[in-house]
Chains A and B, each alone.
Chain A
Amino acid sequence: MAKRAFPYIPNSVEEIKAELLEDIGISDVEDIFKEIPDHLRFDGKLNIPEPKLSEYELKKHVERILSKNKSAQDNLNFKGGGVWQHYVPSVCRTIAGRDEFLTAYVGDAYADHGKFQALFETASMIGELVEMDAVNTPTYDWSNAIVRSIRMAARINGRKEVLIPASMSPSRKKVVLNYCKPDIKVTEIDFDQETALIELDDLKAKLSEKVSSVYIENPNYLGYLELEAEKIGELAHQYGAEFIVGVDPSSLGVLEAPANYGADIVCGELQPFGLNMKWGGALSGFIASPDEEKYVGEYPSLLFGITPTVEEGEYGFGHVAFERTSYAQREKGKDFIGTSTALYGIIAGVYLALIGPKGLIELGEGIMQRCEYAKEKFAELEGVSIPIQTPSFKEFVVDFSGCSKSVKEINQLLEEENIFGGIELGEKMEEYQNCALFCFTEVHDRYDINKLINSIEMIIEKY
């Protein structure tokens, strides 16, 4: 039997290959590879697993491996901390699966007009949420949006120190430390363990005219509203520092647009908008700022702008201030640019258009209601307390110190009940030993919350 052709390689048919070789005037592909000296050649066959050549066998094989996971499909999930379980509308999935968007890349805004318009529209809607006129195409994730914002600020005012809250996501903090390492000093602002809020006195003590920017998260990593955000911004501005606010934008139906309490640069995470959790793989960051040259000129990422075409009344699109980028200027560009998360940015736009202004408000209010309900239910449990009374959005801290079981043990037992309990905080933040960070969203109904509470009650009583 003749060798079967590879379905992904049309010219793997022997006769076609022979025809191509003949046209080139060679008899073997080695006549091309001979350009590579022998000692640089890999002598042998790659030692990789036997393939699953038919699509059926491939599907079965990969699904068998994936089935070793346990997911939020069959388990109630109460983990957040930077990746949150929200409902993904069917229309978002449909658009995400369109081969036109999925398999496009870097064509210009003629053949890829739709991609440019889609990303412009996402930027437009994000701009409305944060009330700023300039928004970038997406970054890898929120953490990268933070560091890009910090580095933008440092280039804007030429200063070399950033103040960040010690309460910020430990994982995002690691990314900040990495990117600031060469030339920006990172100083942490203390927070009050009882309120989870930034210590204003410590902020004042650390502010100086050397500080380039002050970064806060609102809601913060633990889910609490940074109540003195406006004051923090005023203090930063007194010293001429840029005030950068990181947000979970799903809160912006009920929480104020950061520009309205003094933010100069806003950044955040788009994953809540129509993107499944995907083990943290579906993150996508954004940056927004005033539409002033001093800000726009410092963005490292691509910026898509609307512009007229030669046809009267037609909207066209193109790259704004492309010369800023490292694509144009290599090491003289602003940081570096590259393939980021455009598709996720497009989906976030679809989500925002679906949910609309009233839906976003309802989403935010409903989440807060579920959280308050859950807080009350937790507080009824013996040995369990809600240690922080600061208003929160979709996450909050639960203290299990009064229980005989550790958070780890409780979570293990919850897993047996098909529940993914809150994130164990003790390993991440020394202030919160025996505490867990719980997340509630619109996917949780009263029965889900009650099941969680009842299961914890049983675990506490039983053991």
Chain B
Amino acid sequence: MGKTIFRENFHQADWDEPIIYEMSTPGVRGILVPEPDQKIKDRAGDVLAKIPASLRRKEEPNLPEVSQKHVLMHWTHLAQETMGSNLTNDISEGTCTMKYNPRINEELVENTDFSLLHPEQSEETVQGILEIYSEFENIVKEVSGLDKATLQPGGGNHAVYTAASIVRKYWEEKGELEQRDEIITTIFSHPCDAATPKTAGFKVITLQPDEQGLPDIEALKEAVSERTAAIFMTNPEDIGLYNPKVDKFVEIVHEVGGLCFYDQANANAFLGVARAKEAGFDMCHFNVHKTFGTPHGGSGPGNGAFCCKQKLAKYLPVPTVEHDGDKYYPDYDRPHSIGKVRDFYGTAGVIVRAYAWVMAMGEEGLRETADISVINNNYLYRNLVEEVKGLSYCYPDNGLIRQEQVRYTWKELTDDTGVDTLAIERRIADYGIQHYWTSHEPWLIPEPMTLEPCESYSKDDLDEYIKVLKRIAEEAYQDPEMVKNAPHKAASRKRKDDNMLDDPERWALTWRAYQKKKDKIHAD
């Protein structure tokens, strides 16, 4: 058994890195592009003269001029000033399932048999990638219990948007779209379960929780009507409670003719344990970059695997991947399709990695993933609330056993010390741990913190996390100002004034904007 790790003397890399434009020297090159040979140049003539004056660039684009060494150095420094989950104890980003992203999968996607495929190649030349798509679709169909899948959406929210598009098409074809203009969701479902139906043209009704913290079934009964197009709901919701009546929600919506979408963005703890099918849902999706072990990329590329029952399959975006008994092919001949939500086939590299992740795990490995995720979480939260002063968790007396994550609250500590969750979130980086996820908006649970210790984390990691939060709580009681001014040992200090970022006079999204505004930004 390892010792409890505690990075008392941690300091993140802090290069005080200049902006790339400050490293520029005229004439310096980072890489040379291959020139066409003289015969090409001779035959081609003065090509730039063929561009009409209004479209011809008059001045060199203002890009930095930096040598190759300094480009490598600069972005390596910036990488070192970033806390990727493969390097750290990232139990922090609850709801995000920050699991280990295997290196072998990075090697596989660099294989030129994949990386140098053009999406317009003939189907005969892409049988390998089509096979991987088909195999991974089979996997998500089995994990969900549903009939048909698409891997086109570029992320989880995009898959939920795809669901909203399919709901719209379903009602349009039934001739009832004008009447069916409402989609119901719950306040602890991800914000996209409200925002994507709105983007797709629906009115959104949001259910509040009952006294147990679960979606209020009585509120649902009042909300459903002949206007209900669908319900979009997460389970467990992002506070970590499994809704045992979820099938009743489905029944109530089905009774009024509505469709039911299961947001399974994070299905990690339920692999082989519970599925959309048994709960009665018509559609669901998985965030492939969460549950299926692919890297988050600093916020993408991700992928949203969308699954549905057969009755909705005809609406899926084109192309679907099919097999004619002999070979795989992309099927564009789908007259009821919603069209496309993204160019081409989706983030194919994510699918190659996810397929490899599942193939490294197998059925037993997936189930072990679920088991260890809930065991880790129960170990973590019981010890945290026992050992850390001023920390509690939401709905502590509802009698429900927590599953894969917990929403905690620092309210007591904040009331006692004035140190709020945002300060603690900053301070944790001083111990070599990524800032934790507080909560989606609105914060119904005061001073929130959401942790998700998925299967990648060892007992030593869990113990380290407990020890760090215990220490920070002690610091908050003993030296609140120090915690409020954190971070002290991260790659950057506290922002001077967050209000600047909301002020059109003082925000700057580019270096050129900063040059124009810097006097105002530094005015005081």
Give the number of residues in A that approach B within 8 Å (Cβ atoms).
215
Minimum C-beta distance from B403 to chain A (A): 7
Which A residues lie within 8 Å of B490 (CB)? 110-111, 113
> Is residue B3 contacting chain A, with contact meaning CB distance below 8 A?
no
Bound-state CA distance A143–B19 (Å) is 30
Bound-state CA distance A16–B376 (Å) is 11
A70, A71, A114, A323: the one within 8 Å of B82 (CB): A114
Bound-state CA distance A330–B202 (Å) is 13
Say whether, besides A46-B363, A100-B87, A445-B37, A321 and B458 are in contact (CB < 8 Å): no
> Is residue B309 contacting chain A, with contact meaning CB distance below 8 A?
no
Bound-state CA distance A51–B369 (Å) is 14
Which A residues lie within 8 Å of B68 (CB)? 91, 354
User: Which residues from 138 to 169 on chain B have a C-beta closer than 8 Å to any C-beta of chain A?
Assistant: 138-139, 142-143, 145, 154-158, 161, 165, 168
> Is residue B96 contacting chain A, with contact meaning CB distance below 8 A?
yes
B34, B339, B440: the one within 8 Å of A178 (CB): B339
Which A residues lie within 8 Å of B107 (CB)? 59
Interface centre among A113, A120, A123 (most CB of B within 10 A): A113
> Is residue B252 contacting chain A, with contact meaning CB distance below 8 A?
no
Which B residues lie within 8 Å of A291 (CB)? 504, 508-510, 513
Bound-state CA distance A170–B85 (Å) is 39
Residue of B nearest to A8 (CB): B100
Q: Give the tally of cross-chain contacts (CB within 8 A).
A: 750
> Is residue B324 contacting chain A, with contact meaning CB distance below 8 A?
no
Bound-state CA distance A292–B52 (Å) is 30
Stretch at the interface among B111-119, B388-396, B410-418, B470-478: B111-119
B426, A359: Cβ atoms under 8 Å?
A: no
Which B residues lie within 8 Å of A24 (CB)? 375, 378-379, 382
B362, A50: Cβ atoms under 8 Å?
A: yes
- Chain A 320-331 interface 0/1 with B at a Cβ cutoff of 8 Å (1 = within): 111100111111
B54, A229: Cβ atoms under 8 Å?
A: yes
A35, B400: Cβ atoms under 8 Å?
A: yes
Bound-state CA distance A81–B120 (Å) is 8
B340, A296: Cβ atoms under 8 Å?
A: no
A39, A253, A281: the one within 8 Å of B247 (CB): A39
Stretch at the interface among B188-196, B217-225, B253-261: B188-196
Which A residues lie within 8 Å of B498 (CB)? 318
A177, B128: Cβ atoms under 8 Å?
A: no
A114, A225, A296, A329: the one within 8 Å of B51 (CB): A225
Which A residues lie within 8 Å of B272 (CB)? 42, 45-46
Bound-state CA distance A98–B56 (Å) is 38
A133, B154: Cβ atoms under 8 Å?
A: no
Say whether, besides A69-B113, A100-B87, A114-B81, A255 and B71 are in contact (CB < 8 Å): no
Say whether, besides A353-B20, A376-B43, A82 and B344 are in contact (CB < 8 Å): yes
B502, A323: Cβ atoms under 8 Å?
A: yes
Stretch at the interface among A203-211, A339-347, A398-406: A339-347
Residue of B nearest to A144 (CB): B342
Bound-state CA distance A124–B143 (Å) is 43
B371, A29: Cβ atoms under 8 Å?
A: yes
Which B residues lie within 8 Å of A462 (CB)? none
User: Which residues from 98 to 113 on chain B have a C-beta closer than 8 Å to any C-beta of chain A?
Assistant: 98-102, 104, 106-113
> Is residue A256 contacting chain B, with contact meaning CB distance below 8 A?
yes
Say whether, besides A178-B341, A256-B54, A256-B58, A339 and B289 are in contact (CB < 8 Å): yes
Which B residues lie within 8 Å of A308 (CB)? 495-497, 500, 521-522
B440, A327: Cβ atoms under 8 Å?
A: yes
> Is residue B77 contacting chain A, with contact meaning CB distance below 8 A?
yes
> Is residue B121 contacting chain A, with contact meaning CB distance below 8 A?
yes
Q: A51-B360, A100-B84, A368-B48 known; 5 other A-B pairs, CB under 8 Å?
A: A10-B457, A75-B125, A105-B299, A112-B434, A359-B29
9 A-B interface contacts by CB (under 8 A): A66-B128, A73-B112, A177-B339, A225-B55, A260-B58, A279-B126, A320-B501, A339-B299, A354-B66
Q: Which 7 A/B pairs are nearest by Cβ-Cβ distance? A: A182-B201, A51-B362, A338-B157, A280-B344, A114-B81, A281-B348, A280-B119
